[in-house]
Amino acid sequence: MGPSGTGKTTLLRLITGQVMADRGTVLVDGQDVGQSSLDEIYRLRRRMGMLFQNGALLTDLDVFENVAYPLREHTRLPERLIRQLVLMKLQAVGLRGAEALAPAQLSGGMGRRVALARAIVMDPEILIYDEPFAGLDPISLGVVLRLIRRLNDVMGLTSIVVSHDVKEITAVADQSFLLSGGRVVASGTPAELHANPSEVVHQFMDGLADGPVPFHYPAPNYFESLLSREPAQA
């Protein structure tokens, strides 16, 4: 968890090898991502499932083919088995009857659930969610929350959820890490974070406008800027 711009999505990119750290070490299940070859990173990624922030469904493919896409790319399974796996994952997210629909026919919540079915179709060991609650109505949000918890428990996954939604994440998280300024400033169970005396943690967990994390981007004096005839510097 953490305020916007604090490095949450960047951390996911480091874990998946999309970007490399300038310093330090990124270990994923004992594998040093920064020292891994491209082939080793690809093999590591095949052990992961990813639910992107906006779902990232392929608009030219229907629901069935979106979920089947990783299987067609990474396996040589027969068509009958691919169909069984896709229907199984769609059933898990409650959308088996929507297999022939196009992404444009889906609501936001349905699209997120199709993307989740695609993320688990390869039976990953690690499932990564990037802001899974963004833009969802309360009903869809509740469904996605329940799916995250149920899939984690039933499939025995390691789930990594990036979010700034305190209430929602505390409902499903076993362990939480709060980022601020590119650093982990607190960690523990949701209850432990709520009890943490740090002003940064208190401001974020309670949604306070005033605190160590400023609202305004650094800028010259406001009134001096208004009176100045010089154009603002980029």
Distances (CA, A) of 202 to 122, 197, 208, 209: 39, 7, 8, 11
Q: Which pLDDT score is estimated for 78? A: 92
Tens digit of each residue's pLDDT (9 = 90 or more) over 163-222: 877 777 777 888 888 888 778 888 888 788 778 887 777 777 766 666 666 655 667 777
Structural tokens at position 133 = 């609650």
What is the distance, to the nearest Å, from the Cα of residue 8 to the centroid of all Cα atoms in its chain?
9
Whether 61 has a pLDDT exceeding 70, the answer reads: yes
Nearest CA-CA partner of 116 in 137, 140, 147: 147
Whether 68 has a pLDDT exceeding 90, the answer reads: yes
| Cα Rg of the chain (Å, integer) | 21
Name 170's Cβ contacts closer than 8 Å, sequence gap at least 6. Answer: 176, 190, 193, 194
Q: Which pLDDT score is estimated for 231? A: 60
Residue with the two structure tokens 């392929």: 58
Average pLDDT of the chain, as a whole number? 83
- Give the residue extent of every domain in the chain: 8-188
How crowded is residue 57: how many other Cβ atoms within 10 Å of its Cβ? 22
Q: Is the domain 8-188 a CATH 1.20.120.450 member?
A: no
Residue type at 159?
S
Between strands 126-130 and 48-51, the pairing is parallel
